[in-house]
Amino acid sequence: MSERTASQELKNLIRKLSKIGIAISREKNIDSIWK
């Protein structure tokens, strides 16, 4: 894997994790996250 590909993969992972974090923080019913 080239350095550029690894960098792009890392950016994509951070973007996905950010979206997950935002979705979780918007959830009012915490119990629904664990089901």
Q: What is the number of H-type helices and E-type strands within the chain? A: 1, 0
What tens digit of pLDDT does each residue of 1-35 get?
677 899 999 999 999 999 999 988 888 887 877 76
Task: Return the structure tokens found at 14.
Answer: 């951070």
* Residue given tokens 């935002």 in the structure block: 22
Distance CA 21, CA 29 (A): 15
Distance CA 13, CA 19 (A): 10
Query: Residue 13: what pLDDT?
Result: 97
**Contact (Cβ atoms closer than 8 angstroms) between residue 26 and residue 20:** no
Query: Residue 35: what pLDDT?
Result: 65
Query: Residue 16: what pLDDT?
Result: 97
